[in-house]
Structure 1
């Protein structure tokens, strides 16, 4: 029988008010957490993860708001892996994010660029309805180089 080696997992989970202020705070706290994990504020890894969180948090506030409910941000990074998983959960399960192409010249821009940024920065991303269907989670996995020593 093989020996099970414990895997070190770094996590960060926080609830935020479903307001623009909550979205800004999410971005700041994620940047701080990345720094604590060894990714400097101005590093490509920190900037990519922070930007993805900012876009998903803005979407949660703008498109996923349910009165009286917060949104949740979760980061997950397993030891020995070069990926940070970002999850942003909100209470509006009936509306899933849709990736839209950029508007062409002369076309009206009605938003939708946030998911284009997420799609460009993430190795992969998607959505999941959480247990009981009480909320949905939009997740993205971002490759990051090893943290500084």
Structure 2
């Protein structure tokens, strides 16, 4: 199983593909937003509405809103994307929630070393926060010129 380096955390292996659940049990959605600052709030509201519809508890929705905010913000700030694509998928028993955000950037710059934010910095803690909130997370970069997908799994 391939391992991809992550900025600011221990490398994780790609998740194994689980057998597809019957269509009636699957809960998933994909939506695209312009790569603008206003889209962060839109993504947060969309995630909250969808997870509420699926019956996920408030604490899971709180965490998911924070995760989607961080991932969309990073995609907007750190890439030249015009559009970010978000994907949500809940397992049939609602015991796993996967959140993905794909950008149109140039992929991971393997020459850039992770940096620590200074105590008075306004930015630079998003991936540490993601690492603390998610059961697992990772970055998929199939081609250095085709963007990245950052994913996180929450376990209610």
Shorter-chain TM-score bucket reads: 0.7 to 0.9
Gaps of 5+ in 1: 145-149
Residues 1:142 and 2:154 are matched in the alignment? yes
The residue aligned with 1:24 is 41
How far has the Cα of 1:98 moved from its partner? 7.3
- In 1, the alpha carbon distance for the partners of 2:55 and 2:143 equals 33
Q: Mean alpha-carbon deviation: is it higher for 43-52 or for 78-87?
A: 78-87
- CA displacement, residues 16-36 of structure 1 (integer Å, 9 cap, x when unaligned): 000001121111101111111
- CA displacement, residues 44-88 of structure 1 (integer Å, 9 cap, x when unaligned): 11001111001101111111233xx20011011121251100000
The residue aligned with 1:124 is 136
The answer to whether the 8 Å contact 1:99/1:112 transfers is: no
Alignment length (residue pairs): 134
TM-score by length of 2: 0.74
Residues 27/131 of structure 1: CA separation in 2 closer, same or farther (3 Å cut): same
Cα root mean square deviation, aligned: 2.6
Gaps of 5+ in 2: 1-19
The answer to whether the 8 Å contact 2:30/2:85 transfers is: yes
The residue aligned with 1:147 is none
Residues 99/73 of structure 1: CA separation in 2 closer, same or farther (3 Å cut): farther
- CA displacement, residues 101-139 of structure 1 (integer Å, 9 cap, x when unaligned): 4535xxx52621111111111011110024795221000
- In 2, the alpha carbon distance for the partners of 1:98 and 1:49 equals 27
Residues 15/44 of structure 1: CA separation in 2 closer, same or farther (3 Å cut): same
TM-score by length of 1: 0.78
Larger-Rg structure: 1
- In 2, the alpha carbon distance for the partners of 1:15 and 1:5 equals 24
